[in-house]
Amino acid sequence: MMIGKPIATSESHHQAINKRIGLAVFASDALSSVAYAPGEILLVLMLAGTAYTYLSIPIAAAIIVMLLILTISYRQTIFAYPSGGGAYIVARDNIGEIPAQVAGAALLTDYILTVAVSISSGFENVAATFPFIKSYETELAVVTVLFMMVMNLRGVKESGKVFAVPTYFFLGTMVVTLVVGFFRYATGSLPRMEYPAEELAALQHNAMTLGLLLVLRAFSSGCTALTGVEAISNGITAFKEPKSRNAASTMLAMSLLIVFIFGGITILTNLMGVLPRDHDPAVIPYISALLFGPGVVTSLITIGIMLILIMAANTSFADFPRLCALQAGDGFLPRQLTIQGSRLVFSWGIVALSISAITLIVIFNAHTSSLIPLYAIGVFLSFTLSQFGMVKRWLRIGKIKVGKEISVRNAHGDLDVLKHDKQWRLKLIINAVGGVMSLIVMCVFAVTKFTEGAWITVILIPTLVFIFFRIHVHYKSVAKTLSLSGRPVHPERRPIKTIALIDDIHAGTVQLIEFVMSMGGDYEAVHLDNDTAKTERILAKWNERMGDTGHELKIIPAPYRDLTEPVVNYVQNILDGSENGFVHVVLAQIIMDSWAEQALHSNTSIAFKLALQHMDRVVVTDVSYPLHFVNSK
Amino acid sequence: MMIGKPIATSESHHQAINKRIGLAVFASDALSSVAYAPGEILLVLMLAGTAYTYLSIPIAAAIIVMLLILTISYRQTIFAYPSGGGAYIVARDNIGEIPAQVAGAALLTDYILTVAVSISSGFENVAATFPFIKSYETELAVVTVLFMMVMNLRGVKESGKVFAVPTYFFLGTMVVTLVVGFFRYATGSLPRMEYPAEELAALQHNAMTLGLLLVLRAFSSGCTALTGVEAISNGITAFKEPKSRNAASTMLAMSLLIVFIFGGITILTNLMGVLPRDHDPAVIPYISALLFGPGVVTSLITIGIMLILIMAANTSFADFPRLCALQAGDGFLPRQLTIQGSRLVFSWGIVALSISAITLIVIFNAHTSSLIPLYAIGVFLSFTLSQFGMVKRWLRIGKIKVGKEISVRNAHGDLDVLKHDKQWRLKLIINAVGGVMSLIVMCVFAVTKFTEGAWITVILIPTLVFIFFRIHVHYKSVAKTLSLSGRPVHPERRPIKTIALIDDIHAGTVQLIEFVMSMGGDYEAVHLDNDTAKTERILAKWNERMGDTGHELKIIPAPYRDLTEPVVNYVQNILDGSENGFVHVVLAQIIMDSWAEQALHSNTSIAFKLALQHMDRVVVTDVSYPLHFVNSK
């Protein structure tokens, strides 16, 4: 129950899925990064000329080692947190509030960047096959995000099966590409890309000499292949029983698929001498065009890449509002966001995510390579915190004696039951290795990409954490101030003075007076005089029509045209004359059917309310009069 | 009293000024157009090559004739409308609602364009003397408008004397320039601009052959010199007695100054062979640089031009909200705008004007020549309507016998007293000539500049008029629906059912219950159950702390997390059971000191209010609980 009640929409499409569907639902983010990660490595290496592109193979191998370590680490999290163990929850329950909020900030930025990077890369891949869209990439990316926003706002009814189609279509195209590629290599018929001399000269910059820094930069860029590998650990509850076991198997399958595709594409690009063009990391379309010609097959492969990237972006549309709700529940984001079932909340999250992603796309011209430096820091920061959270947990478990269990109250007061585990030392070491590796990658990334854009994330995450804590302090102060603990409560009747504010004499006024009469107590009818002629007209109308009330209309001068100040002063005078009495100000408000019509009316009641609501012991009531037009002309 | 009560701020700086100050206050708009009008004529003629620039002299002469006709016409308006006779009022009182709203739309667009054109031209003139600002014109223009917006929002305390300084400084620099120029011409020492051959080639386009259309286009462009000549007729009440006579003399003085400066600068540009550069109509800085060298004197003259243009733009910041108030008073703009003394209204007008002007500046890159085609249509349309309004008035006066007078009720029900005038035929002819001339100029302008941008104004003005009438129809329907005429009114006490909605049990709830108790009637305390655990906690708290009330807490199930629907249904049930009873829903709202803090709270009361306010016989009261923090940590 640690992640709170599951959201209705997520329930509907995540419920009791098998491993095959689970892979489709959760693997799109991780699998889709093959669309840009191999190209990103090459783009960095090409800074030192095309002679060193073969280094992409050992770099990819290092990344695959990193992936396998993370997979083993995360499988432990999956078994330890059968109800879902995202970085935020693991950090919160084991390390504390600050690391948890850092993880939250990292993940929120990560989700935004997943959308921006995936959609940008999608159109770069499409442009590699269909060059005529090249100059419209930014526009197309913005329109696509807007389209996804609208679809998600309307509430897409996805079932796991809908996810399965594009994911398995993409996997199918990748298997075909790799099998055909390696078969032709084995038979010696693998084609090799021959770039015209002038294009080759333009592609390689020779701007830098090869060195450790450049290799590390290339490695950092390639680590974007690892984004999304944690997705399954968040969604364990969606699997069929035995949940943890099924989720863990799916995670392993996903990682092996990444090894196969990411590794295979990296080797094929080298064997075929394919280079990314136009500073865009897309390479698979060129491999395909060379293997199958520029026809139907290449078009289908390109569509597959676009589809898997849209799926990847779409996962953020579910994850972003869900994490917001979680953080809001803990009091670090506006509390309204916890109302999980409400359309409004998800709308807020979806719109915020879309606007942020569109802003990034526009600023960086939908250019994946410019967005990548902002991307992976958040991902690896959350990996690090999640793994160290697990280390802390194994340390605690290590102290529990055989057959015993302890209940730990986490930072937010929820109970977490820990049981003895004889393998705790081994598991601790595995998570520690995963955490240290993630930390190293994050540092390498932050240093090598700092000036290229990583500084933005380095500033943004602490800023977000600061805001989260400001919000938290506010909620704590409010709760303390409102608390009745230790205060005896004896609600009692207090004197009350009712004032009916009369703006004009019309059907709405009659309803106002009838309401005030119906409350039963005495009242005073008051008009603010800011226009002598109008006041005389209103007095005459009152005396003519409101004679039945037996009340005079009292006139308060309001010479400076500002109507709120005289009312505030009048009310203050009454308050001063009564120790604990209420003043109840009642006014009429005409209600139109539409916002546009409402805006045409003076809505002075809002101004009165804003002025009076800060006064103690003052209550304002708008007697709304919904207008039903006699006729429309 | 036709223009309504004067605005406090305008009163302060317009009160009882003499002719000297009056000229400074009202002439800046008209005088400042000399900064771009002569150059605009030349820019058009240069389309056919520099050989025909001498035609600017006869064109300027035609414009001066036009100016003199308008001056005579407007002097008649000044005597006929001693309390202020802007085009809107004259059209409204004499022709009817539609022409009045057309004039209103024309004037509002005119005010926006005055800001955009004046500030753009200001920086073009400055750039002619200080070329390093050339590439920052748009940015500087935007910043200047924002600065003027802030100054006007804060409420600039201008006295007439503050206006006098820049206006007379500008007039002084112009007199010096013209006197020195013509003196040196008389003595044969007037320098002549010699452009290098390649610059001359770039300046002239030879794109068109000279023809009637081009001459008419040049004439149209030059007619921008006439923008602002009507300003005095709007501000007659500001003058010392005899108001009309003083205003009329000031108008004549202003027109003669325009003749002198506009005519003089046009002749000097021809004598000195000065041409506008970079497609910008600035010429005075070049004349000055040639006459006085590029030193202190030229800098001062440039500053003078910039200052008068800022003054011109600033008049729109007073006129725009004032016209909005006038149209709102007649029910063609949102009625809130009539609350003339309120800061909020002027703020609205000032912000709307600034945003519109900035939008134009950004779209047209602060390029005066691109803005001009949008400009003069509105100006001449309002001249036309104003003059024909006067013609209609003279026709009416012609029917009045000697010594008699008649009271005419205008379109808006106000009284207008007309007296016999034996010269009515002559005056009619004068205004008719002015009106016909204005109409012709407007048509020439619309035709010759249509494709360059005039089409925008041609579409915009009817659109605005349509919106004005839609607003008007709405107000009439509302008034009819709310009217009590012919309906007997007997307000009576009706049954009332009070519901206290309890969200949680805290200090604000205690105040809510005390208020409900204090009203005296019975009530029901209700909690919406959307979370069983929370509901149980609240029930326990209620029973523990609210025992004194003697009331049970009633629980309404709200299983779908949407809280408004169960409340609406519950209330509807009560309404159905009572023929004419009220349902009074009372809830607590915690009030924070700042908007930012308030936004962190769920403000469900707003959602309830929005849902319930459209129901007849339902009244919602928020018992606000202003929070005074116990401590800030």
Query: Is A583 at the interface with chain B, CB within 8 A?
Result: no
Query: Is B484 at the interface with chain A, CB within 8 A?
Result: yes
SS3 assignment for B108-144: HHHHHHHHHHHHHHHHHHHHHHCHHHHHHHHHHHHHH
Q: How many CB atoms lie within 10 A of CB B544?
A: 11
**B600 contact residues in A (CB cutoff 8 A):** 334-335, 471, 474-475
Do A541 and A452 share a structural domain? Answer: no
Residue of A nearest to B7 (CA): A561
Burial class (CB in 10 A: 0-12, 13-18, 19+), B532: exposed
The domain boundary, picked from A418, A444, A475, lies at A475
Residue B526: which H helix or E strand, with range? strand B523-529
Across the interface, whether the CB atoms of B483 and A545 are under 8 A apart is answered no
Across the interface, whether the CB atoms of B481 and A629 are under 8 A apart is answered yes
Is the pLDDT at A476 greater than 70? The verdict is: yes
Do A560 and A453 share a structural domain? Answer: no
Q: Look at residue B146 and tell me if it is in a domain.
A: yes
Is the pLDDT at A348 greater than 50? The verdict is: yes
Residue (of B404, B619, B487, B324) closest to A587 by Cα position: B619
Query: Is A633 at the interface with chain B, CB within 8 A?
Result: yes
- Torsion angle in degrees (nearest 10) through CA of B292, B294, B296, B301: 70
Query: What is the amino acid identity at position A7?
Result: I
CATH number of the domain bearing residue A242? 1.20.1740.10
pLDDT confidence of B207, banded at 50, 70, 90? low
Those residues whose C-beta lies under 8 Å from the C-beta of residue B388, and which sit 6 or more positions away, are B91, B95, B99, B431, B432, B435
Average pLDDT score over chain A: 86
Residue (of B383, B498, B368) closest to B91 by Cα position: B383
Do B425 and B558 share a structural domain? Answer: no
Is the pLDDT at A6 greater than 50? The verdict is: no
Question: In this structure, which long-range contacts are made by residues A607-613, counting pairs with CB atoms below 8 Å and at least 24 apart in sequence?
Answer: A607/A563, A607/A564, A608/A501, A608/A563, A608/A564, A608/A567, A609/B622, A611/A564, A611/A565, A611/A567, A611/A568, A612/A567, A612/A568, A612/A571, A612/A585, A612/B624, A613/B589, A613/B591, A613/B622, A613/B624, A613/B626
pLDDT (tens digit, 9 = 90+) per residue, B273-318? 899 987 889 999 999 999 998 889 999 999 999 999 999 998 888 8
Is the pLDDT at A628 greater than 80? The verdict is: no
pLDDT confidence of B261, banded at 50, 70, 90? very high
State the pLDDT at residue A131: 87
- Residue A140 Ramachandran class (φ > 0 left, ψ -120 to 50 alpha, else beta): alpha
Is it true that the peptide bond before B242 is cis, omega within 30 degrees of 0? yes
Across the interface, whether the CB atoms of B519 and A496 are under 8 A apart is answered yes
Query: Is A615 at the interface with chain B, CB within 8 A?
Result: yes
**B514 contact residues in A (CB cutoff 8 A):** 491-494, 582
Is the pLDDT at A623 greater than 70? The verdict is: yes
3-state helix, strand, coil in chain B (%, to 5): 70, 10, 25
Average pLDDT score over chain B: 86
Minimum mean pLDDT among A361-375, A586-600, B215-229: which range? A586-600
pLDDT (tens digit, 9 = 90+) per residue, B322-335? 888 888 888 898 88
Q: Look at residue A265 and tell me if it is in a domain.
A: yes
CA B615 to chain CA mean position, Å: 38
Compute the nearest-CA separation of A324 from chain B (Å): 14
Average pLDDT over residues A153-159: 63
pLDDT (tens digit, 9 = 90+) per residue, A513-530? 999 999 888 899 999 988
pLDDT (tens digit, 9 = 90+) per residue, B573-612? 999 998 889 999 999 988 888 877 887 776 677 888 888 8
Is the pLDDT at B52 greater than 60? The verdict is: yes
Q: How far apart are CA B188 and CA A310, in angstroms?
A: 78
Is the pLDDT at A571 greater than 90? The verdict is: yes
Q: Look at residue B450 and tell me if it is in a domain.
A: yes
Across the interface, whether the CB atoms of A590 and B482 are under 8 A apart is answered yes
Is the pLDDT at B4 greater than 50? The verdict is: no
Minimum mean pLDDT among A46-60, A601-615, B267-281: which range? A601-615
Is the pLDDT at A21 greater than 50? The verdict is: yes
Query: Is B579 at the interface with chain A, CB within 8 A?
Result: no
- Residue A143 Ramachandran class (φ > 0 left, ψ -120 to 50 alpha, else beta): alpha
Average pLDDT over residues A350-364: 92
State the pLDDT at residue B614: 87
Alpha helical stretches, state H, B483-603 = 507-518, 532-545, 564-576, 595-598
Which of A521, A619, A627 is nearest residue B621 as measured by Cβ atoms? A619
**Residue B373's domain spans which residues?**
8-472
Query: Using an 8 Å Cβ cutoff, are A585 and A499 in contact?
Result: yes
Do A585 and A462 share a structural domain? Answer: no
Q: Look at residue A185 and tell me if it is in a domain.
A: yes
Residue of A nearest to B334 (CA): A600
The domain boundary, picked from A410, A442, A475, lies at A475
Across the interface, whether the CB atoms of B482 and A549 are under 8 A apart is answered no
**A545 contact residues in B (CB cutoff 8 A):** 484, 489
Compute the nearest-CA separation of A590 from chain B (Å): 9
Is the pLDDT at B413 greater than 80? The verdict is: no
Q: How far apart are CA A112 and CA A291, in angstroms?
A: 35
Q: Are strands B496-501 and B523-529 parallel, antiparallel or unpaired?
A: parallel
Which of A616, A623, A633 is nearest residue B619 as measured by Cβ atoms? A623
Provide, rounded to the nearest whole percent, the portion of chain B with pLDDT above 70: 92
CA A170 to chain CA mean position, Å: 26
What is the count of residue pairs from A and B with beta carbons less than 8 Å apart? 218
Query: Is B168 at the interface with chain A, CB within 8 A?
Result: no
The domain boundary, picked from B404, B439, B472, lies at B472
Across the interface, whether the CB atoms of A484 and B491 are under 8 A apart is answered no
Compute the nearest-CA separation of A304 from chain B (Å): 38
Residue B481: which H helix or E strand, with range? helix B454-482
State the pLDDT at residue B602: 67
Distances (CA, A) of B233 to B22, B27, B81, B142, B239: 12, 11, 8, 30, 11
Query: Using an 8 Å Cβ cutoff, are A587 and A605 in contact?
Result: yes
Do B574 and B511 share a structural domain? Answer: yes
Minimum mean pLDDT among A92-96, A426-430, A499-503, A558-562: which range? A558-562
Is the pLDDT at B3 greater than 50? The verdict is: no
Do B463 and B527 share a structural domain? Answer: no
Q: How far apart are CA A382 and CA A376, in angstroms?
A: 10
Do A166 and A132 share a structural domain? Answer: yes
Q: How far apart are CA B567 and CA B563, in angstroms?
A: 7
Query: Is A572 at the interface with chain B, CB within 8 A?
Result: no
Number of domains composing chain B: 2
Those residues whose C-beta lies under 8 Å from the C-beta of residue A212, and which sit 6 or more positions away, are none
* Range list of β-strands (E), B293-414: 405-409
Residue with tokens 């095309």: A50
CATH number of the domain bearing residue B598? 3.40.50.620
Do A500 and A455 share a structural domain? Answer: no
pLDDT confidence of B412, banded at 50, 70, 90? low
Q: How far apart are CA A542 and CA A204, in angstroms?
A: 88
Query: What is the amino acid identity at position B523?
Result: Y
Tokens of A289: 């065009």
Q: Which of B472, B484, B633 to mutate to test the interface with A (most CBs of A within 10 A)?
A: B484
Is the pLDDT at B488 greater than 80? The verdict is: no
Q: How far apart are CA B84 and CA B328, in angstroms?
A: 18
State the pLDDT at residue A328: 87
Q: Look at residue B106 and tell me if it is in a domain.
A: yes
Tokens of A2: 């640690």
Tokens of A110: 């990560």
Residue of A nearest to B559 (CA): A341
Query: Is B529 at the interface with chain A, CB within 8 A?
Result: no
pLDDT (tens digit, 9 = 90+) per residue, B77-101? 888 888 777 889 888 888 888 999 9
Average pLDDT over residues A328-355: 78
Provide, rounded to the nearest whole percent, the portion of chain A with pLDDT above 70: 92
Query: Is B590 at the interface with chain A, CB within 8 A?
Result: yes
Query: Is B191 at the interface with chain A, CB within 8 A?
Result: no
Is it true that the peptide bond before A242 is cis, omega within 30 degrees of 0? yes
Q: Look at residue A532 and tell me if it is in a domain.
A: yes
Query: Is A618 at the interface with chain B, CB within 8 A?
Result: yes
Instruction: Give just the sign of the alpha carbon dihedral B375, B380, B381, B385.
Output: positive
State the pLDDT at residue A5: 36
**A494 contact residues in B (CB cutoff 8 A):** 514, 517-518
Do B102 and B245 share a structural domain? Answer: yes
Q: How far apart are CA B172 and CA B161, in angstroms?
A: 16
**B489 contact residues in A (CB cutoff 8 A):** 510, 545-546, 548
Query: Is A451 at the interface with chain B, CB within 8 A?
Result: no
- Torsion angle in degrees (nearest 10) through CA of A254, A256, A261, A263: 140
Residue of B nearest to A491 (CA): B514
Q: Look at residue A285 and tell me if it is in a domain.
A: yes
State the pLDDT at residue B405: 80
Distances (CA, A) of A545 to A376, A511, A538, B481: 73, 13, 10, 17
Q: How far apart are CA B309 and CA A155, in angstroms?
A: 54
Across the interface, whether the CB atoms of B521 and A519 are under 8 A apart is answered yes
Q: How far apart are CA B444 and CA A10, in angstroms?
A: 65
Query: What is the amino acid identity at position B230?
Result: E
State the pLDDT at residue A633: 39
pLDDT confidence of A384, banded at 50, 70, 90? very high
Do B561 and B444 share a structural domain? Answer: no
Residue (of B537, B535, B518) closest to B586 by Cα position: B518
Query: Using an 8 Å Cβ cutoff, are A335 and B602 in contact?
Result: yes
Which of B560, B603, B627 is nearest residue A478 as measured by Cβ atoms? B627
Compute the nearest-CA separation of B12 from chain A (Å): 15
Across the interface, whether the CB atoms of A549 and B491 are under 8 A apart is answered yes
Is the pLDDT at B64 greater than 70? The verdict is: yes
State the pLDDT at residue A3: 32
Q: How far apart are CA A258 and CA A60, in angstroms?
A: 11
Distances (CA, A) of A272 to A39, A172, A228, A264, A526: 14, 21, 29, 12, 88
Q: Which residue has the higher pLDDT, B532 or B204?
A: B532
State the pLDDT at residue B205: 64
State the pLDDT at residue B410: 63
Which of B496, B616, B627 is nearest residue A518 as measured by Cβ atoms? B496
Provide, rounded to the nearest whole percent, the portion of chain A with pLDDT above 90: 39
Q: Give CA angle at A258 (A257, A262), nearest 5°.
A: 125
Query: Is A564 at the interface with chain B, CB within 8 A?
Result: no
State the pLDDT at residue B111: 92
Across the interface, whether the CB atoms of B545 and A519 are under 8 A apart is answered no
Is the pLDDT at A279 greater than 60? The verdict is: yes
Q: How far apart are CA B39 and CA B221, in angstroms?
A: 9
The neighbouring-strand residues paired with B554 are B526
Which of B473, B520, B627 is nearest residue A481 as measured by Cβ atoms? B627
Do B186 and B293 share a structural domain? Answer: yes
Do B291 and B216 share a structural domain? Answer: yes
Average pLDDT over residues B520-547: 88
Instruction: Give just the sign of the alpha carbon dihedral B408, B412, B413, B417.
Output: negative
Those residues whose C-beta lies under 8 Å from the C-beta of residue A293, and which sit 6 or more positions away, are none
Q: Look at residue A101 and tell me if it is in a domain.
A: yes
